[in-house]
Chains A and B, each alone.
Chain A
Amino acid sequence: MTTFLDNVFNGLALGAVYALVALGFVIIFKASGVMNFAHGSLLLLGGYLTAVLHDDLGFAGALAVSVLVTAAVAGAMDRFLLQAGGGADPHAAHVQTIVTIGVDILILTDLSRRIGGDLLSLGDPWGDSVSGLGPVTVADSRIAAIVVSTVVIAGVFALFRYTSWGLSLRASAEDVEAAALMGVRLVRIRMLAWCLAGALAALAAVFLAAFPAPGLERTTGQIALKAFPAAILGGMASPPGALAGSLLIGMTEALVAGYQSDLHVLGEGFGDVAPYAVMVLVLLVRPTGLFGGKAAVRV
């Protein structure tokens, strides 16, 4: 029973971090129709900045700078690279998606060169301390992951709901032209969405590199790939879907890893494959994802 609770808690923590990444995917997709394949690299960039700056600036300062810089890089990438060809042409999303693959390679190559085979510490305050939570013992970093993610995600949802940026984003996601006619500044709204997604990725990097992970390595960005199925099975354009998908993926991974010995028929390392298996299963039943497809539309 204790093992089970351990696993559930780990799953919750993993899911909360994946949600930060998946939400970034979804925000970008909603705002621009682009699948951002450079998201993993942005995440790695954020983690790397925190790692190299925390000696000088302290953890909080380093994280703040990293979040801002990553947001700026993501925003600049959208504004000056993807939108360069004349702004909001709704047909260009596919081309722009391919461009993100190129950007991913550029950023990843450079960061890999810098990081090499090292394991970087991000200097987070939780270290490897653990707390007893009722019958289970959990890493403080995971408690922090859950708390921070919950607060940040609630904040993002509030942005969607209550700000004119959020309204502009939701309107233009539904109908670019109608939104443009109302005077929504498509270029700016879109760029800000990319900034937000970049900031979330930089934040997620902290928790992906924190205990019990050994630290930031050059492959940390690939973890973003696990948030990708989370975003897809949630419906790709649905923020609540990304949240549900992330929790499902996190839980699956934790449970599969926790009961690895009972699942050995499936082979070593099934935990890495499990997110994709879940994604395929969900999509078989609901091809548009858990929250995808058209909402209420009267014909």
Chain B
Amino acid sequence: MPEAPPDEEPALRVEGLDVTYGRAVSALRSVTLTVPHGQVVALLGANGAGKTTLLRAVSGTLRLHRGAITAGRVRYGSTELDGRDPVAAVRAGVVQVPEGRRVFAGLTVDENLRTGGLGLGRRRPDQVAEARDRVFTLFPRLAERTRQAAGLLSGGEQQMLAIGRALMTAPRLLLLDEPSLGLAPQMVYRIAEVVREINTQGTAVLLVEQNAGMALSLADTAHVLEVGEVRLSGPADELARTDAVKRLYLGETTDDTATTGTDTTGTDTAQTAARTEGQGAA
């Protein structure tokens, strides 16, 4: 840790948050939620519900999308994060893994990992080595490919690299935006394991997912966003049993979905396909 935290167990607190894009489009309205220290919190919702916007508000990248916080506050522990730049978030120990992996394709795996420390200024070599060891323990496959261009990795490996890159900042809170997007079911399972492992090591996780089955199986608490507002909140296992969530996010039928996530695969791939088409058109 670069500096000792003023409070022992910092939590992310988002209070009454309003976010507007281009001064016109309201994306979030009075959103309040908390990510306690060391917990996994899932954020569910359809496309356009505002999940990614919330992450951007925390990580300080709204400005890159012409968005701004118009009301409310974002704090991590005692650090104010609203209106700050991403460097402030990274320094406070909060780092976001963007949707769609976004690894630096032309850089090697090793260089990608090195970027995940640029915000912390000069660090002692042993701190960097320690962070790297942790990443390579979690993702042995990356250790075998340090000299390879990141663009040549498979989708799953790229997701691992994106998470590993973020872990290089030694975060206390990891913001994960759709880590399962576009991955094979087996890889989704692997990513879920990794998230659990990261959390066990003491890092809190705010997990944004379309794959509600996977997210609810991992999370302690969960929130459902609909058109910019929090509709449902509660312990993840309770939410998984509510009718609305079952119907909308888990598919109507069964009970054993929460553990494997297989039941949602149909809707998930459909959404993924629609999303890919959208990107192609843009």
- Give chain A's interface residues, CB within 8 Å of chain B: 86-90, 164, 167-168, 170-171, 174-185, 294-298
Contacts and interface: CB of A to CB of B under 8 A. Distances in A.
B210 interface: no
B2 to A, nearest CB: 11
Contacts of B66: 89
A86 B63 contact: yes
A174 B87 contact: no
Contact of B104 (A86, A164, A175): A175
A182 B90 CA distance: 7
Contacts of B165: 182
A132 to B, nearest CB: 45
A87 B151 contact: no
A167 B61 CA distance: 20
A297 B103 CA distance: 11
Contacts of A175: 102, 104
A181 B151 CA distance: 19
B87 A183 contact: yes
Contact of A167 (B96, B118, B166): B118
A89 B64 contact: yes
Given A168-B115, A183-B91, 13 more contacts: A88-B64, A89-B64, A164-B114, A170-B104, A175-B102, A180-B86, A181-B61, A182-B86, A183-B86, A183-B120, A183-B169, A185-B119, A298-B153
B213 interface: no
Task: Name the interface size band of chain B.
Answer: 35 or more
Contact of B105 (A88, A177, A184, A295): A295
Contact of A174 (B61, B105, B153): B105
B91 to A, nearest CB: 7
B63 A164 contact: no
Nearest to A177: B64
Contacts of A180: 60-61, 64, 85-86
Contacts of A298: 151-154
Contact of A179 (B59, B63, B115): B115
Nearest to B155: A298
Contacts of A179: 104, 115, 118
A178 B149 CA distance: 17
Nearest to A187: B85
B107 A171 contact: yes
Contacts of A177: 61, 64, 98, 102
